Structure 1
Amino acid sequence: MFPEFKSDDLLIKEKAILEKMESNEKFISNLLEQSQFNFANFLKPYQTIHTELSDLSTEISHLNSVKNNEESQAVYTRILPKLTEYYTNLGQNENIYNAFLEIEKTDRTINPEQKKVLSNEIRDFRLSGVGLENSKKEELKKIRIRLSDLSNQFSQNVLNATNAFEMILAEEDVKGMPEGELNSAKTENGKYKFTLQFPSYIAYMTYGPNREKRKELYKAYTTKAPENGKILEEILELRKKESTLLGYETYANLSLATKVADTPEQVLEFLNSLAKKAKPIAEKEISALREFAKERGVENLESQDLTFYSELLKKEKFNYEEEKYRPYLEKESVTKGTFVFLESLLGIRFQEAKTEVWHPSVLCYDLIIENQTRARLYLDLEARKEKKGGAWMNNWKPHFINEKGKETLPIAFVIGNFPSATKDHPSLLKPNDVVTLFHELGHALHHLLSRVNEAFVSGVNGVEWDAVEFPSQFLENFAYEPKVLSLFAKHYKTGEKIPEEYIRTMVDAKNFQSAMAVVRQLEFAIFDIKIHQVAPKEEEVQNILNEVRKEVSVFFPPSYNKFQNSFSHIFAGGYAAGYYSYKWAELLSANAYYSFVDKGVFDLQLAEHFRKTVLEKGGSENAMKLFRDFYGKDPEIEALLRLNGIAA
């Protein structure tokens, strides 16, 4: 029913991709020899061969992310420009484009899903430069190959810099730190090692007692990969050229062509309206933090102090201490309990599957709905040196019925970087780790629950980028619900359920400094749109960031901070001129979330309605239409403000 995922055959996978690209080209040539075109004889088999190619390329990119080594880097670096060239050539093929136009004009049998596939393809072909003269097509092709190479370099530089740094500390520099963090950092010779891997970095920034060591770590984190300054400058320049070739005023305009939002101005208006609501509250929050730090002898609050004193203030104000939650949030217990929650919320069941995996800590589950096996999920949650940082969902296969009537069931990977279990200590999570897990599972369920039969709009495929975070943010909100936490939060040693007062405290503390968090995200989002409107040089990029900070931020980092050099979301991910999507989707998710909360969380009728109108529909219809189908009207900003604890 499901294929095995092989992790030890990279060279075989590379060969298979090269052969698949070659066979696809021949197959398409044969398709184009038909006397007339319709969806069934052209676009359906066209989807099949490209879904097969995507499945193969996903395997290589996935292994390069979770089992990164010299071989994976070499294979990925070799294959990436060839894939880019293949897709660029494909997108500029006039004969394929004309076949699509003919299907649009003549095929009256296509259903709504197929119509969405067709309209997306025609749009994407136009965005690929299909109508350009040959010299401009060639220029666009070179730009895109170079951009893919630069993005890969950017990402690899961040990973290499992250792995290259370590800070070895003596006992006096870690005094008072939580036991769990010390266990993770302890070395064989009794010293303590902290790195730029996020779980390690944030542990010392949150609890590290030595201010100078925090500063050293902070500086290393915010100055990593300085060579990326020139790379991002070239990326911005090439994106500007790309947008000009395609007839768009800026890259921001080009990016929005495939999103729900219409113009950069509309996005900036949305972001600035949020900033006006959040900044006055954020200013009060930072003032309170400065005063708190001053009472403890720190006259000038600096960047290395923010997380440390915020944690102390939160502890004092709410008696909230993340560390005391960790014994109740053991990774295996959280995972199993999360599945219990999802069964109660959405009526889906998870059944562990024994299959080949790429690391012993990886788990695999089949999703059962109405006694039918509908999908497969792999969970790879623990941090490893050879794994890229952060957390994400990667879709391997979409739900699809091909031209021969064969059904492919969807498969997805959820990747995290939670503390690693050792022979003496289990993996104990922080509340924020649980939020991350819920978030990525939301992405996975959006993909895995799809009932769409066309691969190109099944699951997360074809979903507008500024709506793709909607289901993930919807689900993450439940990580703070008392009814949900009570399902799985229990002490890993005693089995004792988490005390109710702990849950109350966590819920009360959830929106601690939330306005500061909002303006920080707005800083990133506005910066992203603005640099993609003008394609500045490296120095001007910093100037724009400084200007944005003056407008929306309440705390200014030191001049050596070059966070943009590791802003992989927009320079090595899919969020270029689209980082605002997190807030845009949060608007949708807040409205959907309160629909459930206001009905007591678990409401099977509402859950089935959400599943059928949103999750099962994937990218088969416009995301705003699907939202309205579920909610009955447009989203209201009051729900977003309520979610963030900001008064309207």
Structure 2
Amino acid sequence: MFKEFDLTNLENSKSKLEEILENSKKEIEALLTIENKSYENFVKPYEEIGESINEFITPIFHIDSVKNSETTQKVYEECLPLISNYETEISQNDNIYRSLKDIQDNYYTTLNDIQKKVLENEIRDFKLSGCHLEEKDKKRLKEINLRLSELSQIFSQNLLNATNAYEMIIENYEDVKEIPKSDLEFAKFEEDGKTKYKFTLQMPSYLAYITYGSNRERREEIYKVYTTRAPENEKIIIEILSLKDEKVKILGFKNYAEYSLQTKMANEEIEVVTFLEELAKKGKNRAKEEIEELKKYALKDGISKIESYDLAYYSEKLKEEKYDIDEEYYRPYFEKNSVLNGFFNFLNKIFEVEFEKASDAKAWDKDVLVYNIKENSKVFARIYIDLEAKKEKRGGAWMNNWHSHYVNKNGEKRLPTAYIVCNFPQSKEGVPSLLRHSDVVTLFHEMGHALHHLFSKVPEAFVSGIAGVAWDVVEFPSQFLEYFSYDKEVLKMFAKHYETGEVLDDEAIDKLIKARNFQSALAMLRQIEFALFDFKLHQKLYKTESEIQGLLNNIRDEYAAIKPPEYNKFQNGFSHIFAGGYAAGYYSYKWAEVLSADAFYMFINSKKVFNKELAMKYKKSILEKGGSEDMNKLFYEFASREPSVDSLLKIDGIIS
């Protein structure tokens, strides 16, 4: 039913991949000899070739992110050029492109809408890959694509190495006295008969000190190291930008932003910039009020000029004072397994699905949980969940799709699989993994992505699940699910004290909900700062570090509530755009958030969060359709109207 996760012969992946790719080329060559090509005899088998390659390569690339070692790096580096060259070669194959065009022209009236969408996407992507170009340009594009893949991996590895290289050792208890007990317990160690505390740049550890560290100089120390990580990435960024600019010029676009929008819901560059600036203008005054309130609060400690490394610390104190909210109070109620099981019950209640532990299933680590998902007592998907932070794991949280739901050429249904990876506080002997509420929100977010992929009912792999979904709306289902993590009824399903079993009381939950919009305008402006920097960075070629810094400074002058110190080199760690797929697309978070907020607002207006009818309509209209139709059409099918930006601003408390 499911392919098992098995990398026992990881070291031999290169030779196995070479064999798979060679066979795939032969199979495609054989398809190209078919005289009367049709969707059934050409597109379906071509689609399955792509799926079989993805099935093999995904775990190899995945293991390098979750269990990074010299071996995984070596294997990744061996396989990367093979897959990059293969993909470039296939995407530039004019014979495949013309075959798809012929099938589209000859059979258009007999194809169903999903098949039409597959062909439309594939033909567009072939054009974007340069299949119509002369041989010398194709050759250069192939070189560029390979180098960009390598640079992306180097950028990511530099960041991981820098993150793992630093430790801040503290001996003075006064410097750690405000740090929550569970974080402090994790940081504590004995050396030379003394109790000491170790803080690293791993996200749970870094957040613990930057948010609760009593010593301002120590806060700046860890902040400075964090924001100056991987200085060698400066040169990587310059090369990435130069190669991307060269690539899109060969393809006939004026800049990378224009090229990027070919696969987005947004149509024009001006549309994206206007959207971001409009949001920023609507939130700017509120953000100024929020920062003034924070400055006034910090004055109590004699801080006349609040700095970036003070923000988390004083924001947490102010939040605690305003809402009487203490993160540490909540954490015993968010024990990892309790949260997960309650979350599954919630998903069962609104979407009528069950999560059943697949105890025999193999995974990459003993702590990875594997579940089969059932609908009407029948298994239809599998999910791997890896939640705790570890040194060999890259930072952040993500969902990775492995298999897609589709029907193969023999009429057999293939079931989807996905991975969810997070970096939550680690469990330690005697101390379970106790989450912050922000971790709970992250889990809901990543599960939103996973459900979008796993709930698909689309029979074509190329547009099933998250495949074929426009990049600027792919965050819609993840952000939509996030909103439920602030609902009282939902929280009561799993917010139970890990020692006493006591359910989190109404008053504590109300505080959490009220505190949700604390500094929401500041958070929005920060996202817009990142998004504008990313988008404008790709509207023309920036050739030097000082030009890039100048662009970032200009955006900060216009939109940042507090200017960070000059040494802050945020861009060197901006892996979303330099080591992920978000280049000229970081605006997607806000673009998609408009859809997600508006969709959730329908639940608010219906006066019940467990609105089964509305949830099942969302499941059928959005989740089950995957990338088989454009999201603007699917949203209209669900909501019976266009999305409104005001729902987002209302939910965030920026407008009333």
CA distances 1:128-161 after superposition (whole Å, capped 9, x unpaired): 0011111111111111111111111101100010
Aligned 1:126-137 pairs, distance under 5 A: 126-137=127-138
Question: 1:13 offset after TM fit, Å?
Answer: 3.4
What residue number does 2:77 align with? 77
Q: Do residues 27 (structure 1) and 27 (structure 2) align?
A: yes
Q: Alignment partner of 1:193: what SS?
A: strand
CA distances 1:257-299 after superposition (whole Å, capped 9, x unpaired): 0000011110000000000011111011011101100122111
CA distances 1:215-247 after superposition (whole Å, capped 9, x unpaired): 000000000000001110111111111111111
Q: Alignment partner of 2:642: what SS?
A: coil
Question: 1:583 offset after TM fit, Å?
Answer: 0.2
What residue number does 2:141 align with? 140
Question: 1:424 offset after TM fit, Å?
Answer: 1.2
Aligned 1:172-191 pairs, distance under 5 A: 172-189=174-191, 190-191=195-196
CA contact (8 A) 2:69 2:392 kept: yes
* Matches of 2:616 and 2:135, distance apart in 1: 51
What residue number does 2:152 align with? 151
* Matches of 2:93 and 2:7, distance apart in 1: 34
What residue number does 2:290 align with? 285
> 192, 200, 204: which one pairs with 1:195?
200
Q: Output the amino acid matched with 1:514.
A: S
What residue number does 2:345 align with? 340
CA contact (8 A) 2:456 2:623 kept: yes
What residue number does 1:363 align with? 369
Q: Output the amino acid matched with 1:240.
A: D
> 601, 604, 621: which one pairs with 1:613?
621
- Corresponding residue pairs, total: 648
Q: Output the amino acid matched with 2:549.
A: Q
Q: Output the amino acid matched with 2:593.
A: E
* Matches of 1:394 and 1:12, distance apart in 2: 23
What residue number does 1:631 align with? 639
Q: Alignment partner of 1:412: what SS?
A: strand
> 401, 412, 419: which one pairs with 1:395?
401
* Matches of 1:546 and 1:370, distance apart in 2: 55
CA contact (8 A) 1:85 1:141 kept: yes
Question: 1:121 offset after TM fit, Å?
Answer: 0.5
* Matches of 1:8 and 1:155, distance apart in 2: 25
Q: Alignment partner of 2:423: what SS?
A: strand
Gaps of 5+ in 1: none
CA contact (8 A) 1:434 1:479 kept: yes
Q: Alignment partner of 1:350: what SS?
A: strand
* Matches of 2:460 and 2:183, distance apart in 1: 47
What residue number does 2:561 align with? 554
> 284, 294, 300: which one pairs with 1:295?
300
* Matches of 1:178 and 1:147, distance apart in 2: 42
Q: Alignment partner of 2:168: what SS?
A: strand
TM-score normalised by L of structure 1: 0.99
CA contact (8 A) 2:346 2:493 kept: yes
* Matches of 1:584 and 1:12, distance apart in 2: 43
What residue number does 1:44 align with? 44
Question: 1:391 offset after TM fit, Å?
Answer: 0.3
Question: 1:7 offset after TM fit, Å?
Answer: 3.5
Q: Alignment partner of 1:7: what SS?
A: coil
CA contact (8 A) 1:322 1:431 kept: yes
Q: Output the amino acid matched with 2:180.
A: P
* Matches of 1:402 and 1:16, distance apart in 2: 23
What residue number does 2:538 align with? 532
Question: 1:371 offset after TM fit, Å?
Answer: 1.8
CA contact (8 A) 1:169 1:193 kept: yes
Moved more, 598-607 or 526-535: 598-607
Question: 1:471 offset after TM fit, Å?
Answer: 0.2
Question: 1:15 offset after TM fit, Å?
Answer: 2.8
CA contact (8 A) 1:399 1:451 kept: yes
Moved more, 68-77 or 7-16: 7-16
CA distances 1:58-90 after superposition (whole Å, capped 9, x unpaired): 111110111110000011011112111111111
Q: Output the amino acid matched with 1:615.
A: L
What residue number does 2:230 align with? 225
Q: Output the amino acid matched with 1:442.
A: G
CA contact (8 A) 1:175 1:209 kept: yes
Q: Do residues 445 (structure 1) and 451 (structure 2) align?
A: yes
* Matches of 1:520 and 1:464, distance apart in 2: 24
What residue number does 1:545 align with? 552
The verdict on how the C-alpha distance between 1:188 and 1:36 changes in structure 2, with shifts beyond 3 A counting, is farther
Moved more, 117-126 or 169-178: 169-178
What residue number does 1:517 align with? 523
Gaps of 5+ in 2: none
* Matches of 1:57 and 1:406, distance apart in 2: 23
Q: Alignment partner of 2:169: what SS?
A: strand
Question: 1:364 offset after TM fit, Å?
Answer: 0.7
* Matches of 1:8 and 1:466, distance apart in 2: 37
CA contact (8 A) 1:366 1:377 kept: yes
Question: 1:590 offset after TM fit, Å?
Answer: 0.3
* Matches of 1:7 and 1:596, distance apart in 2: 44
What residue number does 1:212 align with? 217
* Matches of 2:8 and 2:302, distance apart in 1: 55
Q: Output the amino acid matched with 1:500.
A: D
What residue number does 1:575 align with? 582
* Matches of 1:20 and 1:183, distance apart in 2: 49
Question: 1:12 offset after TM fit, Å?
Answer: 3.8
Question: 1:597 offset after TM fit, Å?
Answer: 2.5
Q: Alignment partner of 1:289: what SS?
A: helix
* Matches of 1:318 and 1:624, distance apart in 2: 38
* Matches of 2:490 and 2:605, distance apart in 1: 15
Moved more, 62-71 or 596-605: 596-605
Q: Output the amino acid matched with 1:83.
A: I
Q: Alignment partner of 1:534: what SS?
A: coil
CA contact (8 A) 1:7 1:357 kept: no
Question: 1:28 offset after TM fit, Å?
Answer: 0.6
Question: 1:11 offset after TM fit, Å?
Answer: 2.3
* Matches of 1:453 and 1:18, distance apart in 2: 29
Q: Output the amino acid matched with 2:66.
A: V
Q: Output the amino acid matched with 1:176.
A: E
What residue number does 2:503 align with? 497
What residue number does 2:321 align with? 316
* Matches of 1:295 and 1:167, distance apart in 2: 28
Q: Do residues 412 (structure 1) and 413 (structure 2) align?
A: no
What residue number does 1:124 align with? 125
CA contact (8 A) 2:13 2:75 kept: no
* Matches of 2:7 and 2:22, distance apart in 1: 24
CA contact (8 A) 2:13 2:79 kept: no
* Matches of 1:65 and 1:167, distance apart in 2: 24
What residue number does 1:65 align with? 65
* Matches of 1:584 and 1:255, distance apart in 2: 15
Question: 1:423 offset after TM fit, Å?
Answer: 1.5
Q: Output the amino acid matched with 2:506.
A: E
Q: Alignment partner of 1:466: what SS?
A: helix
CA distances 1:156-181 after superposition (whole Å, capped 9, x unpaired): 10001001111111123211221011
CA contact (8 A) 2:372 2:380 kept: yes
Q: Output the amino acid matched with 1:647.
A: I
* Matches of 1:7 and 1:195, distance apart in 2: 30
Moved more, 584-593 or 162-171: 162-171
Question: 1:110 offset after TM fit, Å?
Answer: 2.0
CA contact (8 A) 1:199 1:418 kept: yes
Q: Do residues 469 (structure 1) and 475 (structure 2) align?
A: yes
Question: 1:44 offset after TM fit, Å?
Answer: 0.3
